[in-house]
Amino acid sequence: MSQRRPEAKTPGLPFHLSQRAPAGFRIAAPLRPKQRVRVSILVFNAGSSSLKFGRFDVAAETSGLSGQFDWAGGDRGQARCTVRTPGSGERCSIVALPDDRAAVAEALRHVATGSAVRLVAHRVVHGGVEFGVGARIDAAVKTAIARLAEVAPLHNPPALAAIEAAETLLPGVPQVAVFDTAFFARLPLRAALYPLPFEWHERFGVRRIGFHGISNAWCAARAAAMLGRDPFGLRLITCHLGGGCSATAVRDGGPVATTMGFSPLEGLMMGTRCGSVDPGILMHLLRRCGLSAEELESALNHRSGLLGVSGLSPDLAQIEAAAAGGHERARLAFDLFADRVRAAIGALAVTLGGADALVFTDRVGEGSPALRAAACRGLECLGARLDPDRNAVAQPDADVAAADSTMRILVIHTEEERWIAREAARIAGLAADAR
């Protein structure tokens, strides 16, 4: 008997259109009727160690100038600025950026052209369970983003700073928030629930939320296209590896399981975040070692991960260079990171009952052949065989699996800003075919 295909959905919506929205979800009303004018959308993607920006037309299929400020080295006062112009390549420089507001102002200096900008779209990492696909930004939405900063302290504050800076610098231009958490609205309860007192879930909303959803949505669609497959029936493991890191099992274009949880602190080891640790350690540090909750939170978010183990840097490129030079703790940090990624891939493959493709994306996933090789070492038992020559020279988007690998291994450039622009245009009611 043939398998019944699921009901068609609007891309990005976390539930069937024929169903009512889950309790607590907010779906924003359109900003205005569909327009038949050419519209530019500015996109800001504030991450834990970067601010990406770009300018897109309303169809979100062609982009103008784009770029990013990168603080991966740990110095928030100085950022590496990369600006890409269609037809002119990219140029890099080091710029002084004392705070997130200054970064937005510098980005606008590159991409904004006054009245032609009709919409500003922002990636917001944590939208909790109260927001659906996205929302027009108003005072209530900003209050919710600020409130959720308690569980996303590295992400929601920079996003809010970008929103407020854009309000000041582009007065009167509507803004839309697209939430990283929306992709995981369909996460099964058995995958979302923690084995804690059930009343904590009911009373306090304690559950796995999931993050890097925008990247997962893009990579799932791109992987299907690269493989020439329909997303329905396709089993993927997506490793989003950058300043923040997570791995997600995707089936039929939607999430089955993910490593990040109630906050972006859980799961894989990251640049400055610890990932999953024994909660007994935290209780011991609080009760016996004299650390306060504030000191503990700061250490877990800002002084752990690659930085904490190596003592050098949260940037894997610097860790790799130091390890090659004989730095023992740098080598330890690299090996520990690769082991955590490999373990997650194995667990998610079993959850899916096998995987058709493994995806590496974001700064580390796309840019480190050594990490991909280390993470794939031992995965032959799952049918994943890396081609070392392809891997060494791969540029996204590429398949770096060996010819006899039954699991394809894809390096995909995550285009979060393009996905954000698409979603923002849809939420705003702007015509996708405007020219």
- Active-site residues, by number, are 180
Q: Single out the residue of 190, 185, 242 nearest to residue 217, CA to CA.
A: 185
**SS3 of 68, please?**
strand
Helix axes 328-352, 369-376, angle to 10 degrees: 60
CB atoms within 10 A of CB 91: 11
- Distance set, CA 254 to CA 11, 182, 257, 331 (Å): 11, 11, 10, 36
Q: Single out the residue of 58, 164, 149, 151 nearest to residue 104, CA to CA.
A: 164
C-alpha span between 214 and 234 (Å, rounded): 18
Strands of the sheet with 357-361, listed across from one edge = 254-258, 245-251, 235-241, 357-361, 408-411, 398-399
- What type of residue sits at position 202? E
C-alpha span between 303 and 307 (Å, rounded): 6
Token match 């109260």: residue? 130
Greatest Cα pair distance in the chain: 65
CB atoms within 10 A of CB 383: 17
C-alpha span between 38 and 367 (Å, rounded): 35
Q: Single out the residue of 184, 103, 182, 179 nearest to residue 145, CA to CA.
A: 179
Is residue 330 within 8 Å of residue 312, measured between CB atoms? Answer: yes
| DSSP H or E segment with residue 413 | none
Q: What are phi and psi of 79, to 5 degrees?
A: -125, 145
Q: What are phi and psi of 422, to 5 degrees?
A: -60, -50
Tokens representing 308 are 């904490």
